[in-house]
């Protein structure tokens, strides 16, 4: 096994995020399920965008956010995801590269425009996402840079990307390339609704090709169709080498074989929950690839998530290296 040039390679939807504040009544009027992620078409995207208040735009997507946060923690990070050759695609590419992330994927020429996610944040900090996938749907096996995968300690796959069939084939190719090079594969389940749509495919992927699994309480219970978090913990224990399961203010539980580590949540004032799980995964993987013990990986994840939810937007606004430094 040759040396690595990247600590983490993320593969996911390359989405330009547009975040705006909204009242609960706006969500109800638009027929949205609070706290969920819905896939929308072009017409719906245009209608919501016209109705929502002023927003903040940034390169996003779940794995994109994880990559940016991990880079902020000092990890060497790359990202694969498809944008169009348009203004939003150029904005995405500039933004993620400016965050210190290698982004080599060629843009889509012709076809659908760059994806965007319209995120409404209610006063309680909950985010409700409406995602137009656009060019993301075109990401396929040919976009998986197997040499780059082989160069990364961990290839991190985003569950949201599982919706287009071509992306599922891309996942399998990336996982095979990673394992052939002796690397690890991580997967984020992303959303309980996503798990519900692809449960059997996710179960097969987790059991056969995933080394590290990230999920929140609702997602892991949905994956295994159990009624308690404790039952889900026992189910995942026998399927992956390592699982990091987040529980909001209850912190997280890291499961590795017979070991179970309970990690406290870092103190936080909730302003906007967008990207909290992404930030946790970033902190955890940045620490793991730096050689830290699992409880320390969980601590980094908790600190990154707390920083994320303490302000509007999914990208870090504080010096994350200073925050995770031992006191």
User: Which of 174, 176, 229, 220 has the alpha carbon at shortest distance from 194?
Assistant: 220
- Using CA atoms, how far apart are residues 35 and 18, in angstroms rounded to an integer? 16
Cβ-contact 302, 264 below 8 angstroms: yes
**pLDDT mean across residues, the chain:** 92
Instruction: Report the pLDDT averaged over residues 235-240.
Output: 94
Q: Which residue has the higher pLDDT, 60 or 179?
A: 179
Q: 17-33: per-residue pLDDT in tens?
A: 888 999 999 999 999 99
- Using CA atoms, how far apart are residues 44 and 62, in angstroms rounded to an integer? 21
When pLDDT is cut at 50, 70 and 90, the band that residue 141 belongs to is very high
Q: Which residue has the higher pLDDT, 137 or 102?
A: 102
- Using CA atoms, how far apart are residues 56 and 276, in angstroms rounded to an integer? 17
Q: Are strands 37-39 and 127-132 parallel, antiparallel or unpaired?
A: parallel
pLDDT at 1: 43
Cβ-contact 255, 236 below 8 angstroms: yes
- Inform me whether the pLDDT recorded for 215 exceeds 90: yes
| Residues 6 or more apart in contact with residue 207 via CB below 8 angstroms | 239
């Amino acid at each position: 096994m040759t040396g690595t040039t990247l600590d983490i390679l993320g593969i996911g939807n390359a989405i330009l995020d547009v975040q705006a504040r909204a009242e609960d009544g706006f969500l109800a009027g638009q027929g949205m399920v609070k706290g969920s992620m819905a896939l929308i078409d072009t017409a719906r995207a245009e209608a919501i965008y016209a109705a929502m208040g002023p927003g903040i735009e940034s390169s996003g997507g779940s794995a994109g956010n994880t990559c940016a946060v991990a880079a902020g923690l000092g990890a060497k990070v790359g990202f694969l995801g498809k944008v169009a050759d348009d203004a939003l695609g150029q904005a995405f590419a500039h933004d993620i590269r400016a965050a210190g992330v290698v982004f080599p994927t060629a843009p889509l020429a012709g076809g659908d425009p760059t994806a965007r996610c319209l995120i409404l944040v209610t006063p309680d900090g909950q985010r409700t996402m409406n995602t137009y996938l656009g060019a993301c749907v075109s990401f396929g096996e040919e976009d998986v840079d197997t040499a780059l995968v082989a160069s990364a300690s961990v290839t991190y796959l985003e569950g949201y990307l599982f919706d287009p069939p071509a992306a599922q084939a891309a996942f399998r190719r990336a996982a095979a390339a990673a394992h052939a090079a002796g690397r690890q594969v991580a997967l984020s389940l992303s959303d309980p609704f996503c798990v519900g749509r692809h449960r059997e495919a996710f179960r097969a992927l987790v059991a056969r090709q995933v080394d590290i699994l990230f999920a929140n309480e609702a997602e892991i219970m949905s994956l295994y169709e159990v009624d308690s978090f404790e039952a889900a913990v026992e189910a995942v224990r026998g399927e992956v080498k390592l699982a990091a399961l987040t529980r909001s203010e209850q912190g997280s539980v890291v499961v590795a074989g017979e070991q179970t580590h309970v990690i406290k949540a870092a103190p936080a004032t909730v302003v906007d929950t967008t990207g909290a799980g992404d930030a946790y995964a970033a902190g955890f993987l940045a620490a793991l690839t730096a050689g830290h013990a699992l409880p320390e990986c969980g601590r980094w994840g908790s600190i990154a998530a707390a920083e994320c939810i303490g302000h509007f937007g999914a990208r870090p606004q504080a010096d994350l290296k200073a925050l995770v430094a031992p006191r």
